[in-house]
Chain A
Amino acid sequence: MAIKAMNVNPKRFDRNQLKFYLILVPMAVFMLLPVVYIFSQSLKPLDELFMFPPRFLVQKPTFKNFTDLFRAASSTGVPMMRYLVNSVIVTVIAITLTLLITTMTAYALSKKEFKLKKFLFSVNQTALMFVAIAVAIPRYLIIDTIGLNDTFIVHILPYLAMPVGLFLVKQFIDQVPDELVEAAKVDGAGDWHIIMKIIIPLIKPALATVAILTFQMIWNSTESSNLYIITETKKTFSFYLTTLTANQAVSIAGAGMAAAAGLIMFLPNLIIFVIMQSRVMDTMSHSGIK
């Protein structure tokens, strides 16, 4: 026999796995370098930031960049905390609403019978390939027309309908046996009750995944602050960060602060993903498009 059968998800280590580690580990290190770099950069004192040749790792770590950042205010006088609080509020509301709307729709698409069911699902599946940035202009015109410009909800509303999220949750609800829903109906439970008491507890992995995707999209987004918001106090933290990086070439002290801010942007992403990783993988095994 020329080869052994592919050993998927092996229980123990054997020498055949070495070749994979030889490629995977350097690759993982390469992927993580920029992350290590931003940690190190954010802890560097001023003289180390501009040392030549630059050193990758910090020698004398300091939190000065962070304290500077927290004391800093934008050129218009808005304190940094204001942007951060805005971002937190926007993200929390957006995640809550996305989860709710996505679950309601996915439940209807999975467990209800209605005329346009197939059509709606296939439209949503086509929308998976929707590139939002391509329609930035008409979106702007529409938001302007309905008067959402410069309101706080413009950070949230345009992003609530999330085709990927709906797709993943619907695939997951398909796994919930119809009999369970039918039994609840016989007992007199309404749709709302079924969603809250039966569906949501069973699809937590999918919801965790959608929550992460929403978080990444909203928390990192600068689009809404850039295009739709005029009032400085309504803008978000990621936008404030772009103003720091834009000034980086001009102001020397900005580099350390930008790195500190970049780290603050990035860390919540990482922490949430690490906590939810196994749930995400669970969702992904039902992610296939048939």
Chain B
Amino acid sequence: MQTTLNKQNVGDYERISKRRDKISTFLLLLPYVLLFSTFIIIPILVSGALSFSYFNLIEAPRLADLFGFYNYVILVTQDENFLRYVIPNTIKYSFIVGPGGYILSFIMAWMLSQIQATPRKWISLAMYTPSMVGGVFITVVWRTMFSGDTSGYINAILLSNDIIDEAIQFLQDPAYLLNIMILVSLWSSMGIGFLAMLAGLLNVDKTLYEAALVDGIKNRFQEIIYITIPQMKPQMLFGAVMAIVGAFNSGYIGVALSGQNPTPQYSGQLIINHMEDFGFIRYEMGYAAAISVVLLLIVFMFSRVAYALFGDKG
């Protein structure tokens, strides 16, 4: 290489520096691409492959019956718990916590954008706080809040005001568990997507609102639909994706709150808990993988809807 440089041949020099640049780019990308493939891409592919197999961790996996589709067929025809509890629970939970939490975040961010900077800073901090506490904190606090024994706050309040006669076992009673899970998830749903939407709202060009008035906008609702949202579509989309992922990632809380998997009478059983039940408790890995593929497809579908609503192509 030294000799080529000594020749002062510009063409050669450019070629070498281009090659160097390529190597450098490759090295910059290498760690992320390796880690990304190993812990995100390959697990998804393995999940897909395992879902067509029978695998119990002891014997080598083998192709499942019905040309591999056995797990899926059983899932949609035979698995009574899945059809009767898991699917309806997941639909109710994910619709309220996903789109519901998202709309709530947007409304809160919209109001926050219309007050002064200093109170906004503190109120948005209060709203963001629950999303950073993590699962352990949620278990400690909310379990005591809804506890069925004498330390439970909700029961104590209801009892001392004579609203109820005896303590309700909120976390073990199928009538309450799912709703409590939804409440807790909504409580912790204003995370990074909420902050993104707040930032987006603050960046909308003020003169647009004044121009819109001249053009005949009649109320706040029209203003939001025709000016605000179109102006901050990219942040709306980011917020939507974060809301969907957040809703499905917090699916563990039913098990955390009730302390058992399956949750009491499957009342708080979400698709994630069902997967863990089969994967880590019953060691039916092929079946668990099929459930996880269904889960990934659901998340993907939700995100497609978000992209259709707010994406450039939509």
Contacts and interface: CB of A to CB of B under 8 A. Distances in A.
A10 B43 contact: no
Contacts of A133: 248-249, 251-252, 272
A7 B28 contact: no
A137 interface: yes
Interface in A42-78: 49-50, 52-54, 56
A37 B154 CA distance: 13
Contacts of B28: 104-105, 107-108, 112, 191
Contact of B220 (A3, A28, A246, A270): A3
A289 B116 contact: no
Contacts of A201: none
A269 B133 contact: yes
Interface string A150-168: 0000000111110110100
Contact of A287 (B43, B196, B220, B249): B196
A183 interface: no
Contacts of A136: 275-276, 279-280
The majority secondary structure among interface residues of chain B is helix
A43 to B, nearest CB: 14
Chain B CB within 10 Å — which of A104, A138, A262 has the most? Answer: A138
Contacts of A38: 137, 140-141
Interface residues of B, number: 115
Contact of A3 (B206, B218, B299): B218
Given A137-B47, A245-B140, A8 B202 contact: yes
Contacts of A101: 31-32, 35
Contact of B196 (A4, A107, A220, A284): A284
Given A191-B28, A273-B125, A134 B114 contact: no
B114 A129 contact: no
Range of interface residues on A (Cβ < 8 Å): 35 or more
Contacts of B157: 53
Interface in A197-230: 213, 216, 219-222
Given A9-B113, A131-B299, A288-B235, A245 B204 contact: no
A160 B127 CA distance: 27
Interface string B25-44: 10011011101101110111
B286 to A, nearest CB: 10
A131 B36 CA distance: 14
Interface string A1-35: 11111111111110001001101110111111011
A129 B42 contact: no
A85 interface: no
Contact of A139 (B32, B43, B136, B156): B43
B136 A20 contact: no
B112 A24 contact: yes
B145 interface: yes
B59 interface: no
A233 to B, nearest CB: 20
A38 B122 CA distance: 20
B81 interface: no
Interface in A221-270: 221-222, 238, 241-242, 245-246, 248-249, 255, 258-259, 261-262, 265-266, 269-270
B195 A284 contact: yes
Nearest to B293: A134
A244 B129 CA distance: 23
B134 interface: yes
Interface of B: 21-22, 24-25, 28-29, 31-33, 35-36, 38-40, 42-44, 46-47, 50, 108, 111-117, 119, 121-123, 125-130, 132-137, 139-145, 150-153, 156-157, 159-160, 187, 190, 192, 195-196, 198-204, 206, 209-210, 212-213, 217-220, 223, 227-228, 232-235, 237-238, 241-242, 244-245, 248-249, 251-252, 259, 272, 275-276, 279-280, 285, 288-289, 292, 295-296, 299-300, 303, 310-312
Q: List 6 tightest A-B contacts by C-beta distance, closest first.
A: A288-B234, A220-B134, A138-B46, A284-B199, A28-B126, A135-B43
